[in-house]
Amino acid sequence: MLNIVLQDSTFKQLRDFIYEKSGIFIPDTKKYLIENRLAGRIHAANLKSFEDYLHLIRHTKDREELKRLFDAVTINETFFFREPKQLDVFADHIVSKVLEQKTGTKNIKIWCAACSTGEEPYTISMMLMEKRLDFKQVEIYASDISEEALGSAKKAVYNSYSVRNAPESYLTKYFSNSGQVYTLSPSVRHTVKFKNINLIDEKKVRLLKGMDVIFCRNVLIYFDEKAKQKVVSHLYDSLNPGGFLFIGTSESLHNVTRAFRPAIINKVIVYQKV
Ligand SMILES: C[S@@+](CC[C@H](N)C(=O)[O-])C[C@H]1O[C@@H](n2cnc3c(N)ncnc32)[C@H](O)[C@@H]1O
């Protein structure tokens, strides 16, 4: 591996580039993250310095390089049944509210925006299966900016760390297991449609409209206030009137928007589009 130094001025230009393209804001304290993660890209592209890399991503017409940059700078930590209280509120309260609001035979549409390697949308799908929802009337979409994360999501093969929070009954029913490897059953895998969507990109977000419930959990923390406002307004536009938004339990819409009506159900905050 090359032993090259990331100058402060180059770091700031790289950081601004990443922010402009993705909304992800990398503070000074996380300079090491850029240094460590992009060194591999510099090596792979046969470049000599971070300055060369900056020049490359600024001028290349190769969309793949930008995708690799997103793969390198995103943090994809996730697991099955993360923040389970929210998931219970969704399954036990929100789904029935959405069904009540539906007229005719319209499908219920759910979107996990920033799904990482798929644990979140698959958890939702399994929970709805347990509720015996008719999957002919359920559409589950899941998206992320990281192509690498989406690739893993589509494979749906996990390690024991990913499933550590999953109830035993789910593991038995919906996975086949060999040693530390847990392979999700195709019957669940096929219920989720994956897409590459950069949440800061309004045109991309518009690909998914008419949603009844959006999960956008544990991603707003990587954005600054301005980027949060942009992303949340895109999500607002993608929701049906009366639709619901879940954000991570450590996240807040304070100073971001007042367009949603917050409701507290079993100590969980749910945001409703009014
Ligand atoms: C920490 S994971 C959260 C995964 C899941 N929502 C959860 O709560 O377990 C954050 C995800 O956000 C994605 N992400 C970051 N910036 C994004 C953007 N601008 N558009 C879409 N996804 C983004 C990352 O690639 C990463 O997979």
Instruction: Name the token pair of 115.
Output: 């799904």
pTM, two decimals, is: 0.97
**DSSP code of residue 265:** E
Helical (H) or strand (E) element with 32: helix 31-44
- Residue 12 CA to ligand 1 center (angstroms) comes to 22
Pocket test for ligand 1, best of 80, 144, 216 (most atoms within 8 A of CB): 144
pLDDT exceeds 80 at position 183: yes
pLDDT exceeds 60 at position 194: yes
Please name the amino acid found at residue 134: D
219 lines ligand 1 (CB under 6 A): yes
Whose C-alpha lies nearest to ligand 1, atom 13? 114
Question: What's the CATH superfamily of 84-273?
Answer: Vaccinia Virus protein VP39 (3.40.50.150)
Whose C-alpha lies nearest to ligand 1, atom 2? 76
In this structure, whether the domain defined by 8-73 belongs to CATH 1.10.155.10 is answered with yes
Average pLDDT over residues 87-103: 94
Residue pLDDT, tens place only, 103-148? 777 899 999 999 999 999 999 999 999 999 999 999 999 999 999 9
Q: What is the residue extent of each domain of the chain?
A: 8-73, 84-273
77 lines ligand 1 (CB under 6 A): yes
228 lines ligand 1 (CB under 6 A): no
CA angle 6, 12, 15 (to 5 degrees): 100
- Residue 10 CA to ligand 1 center (angstroms) comes to 25
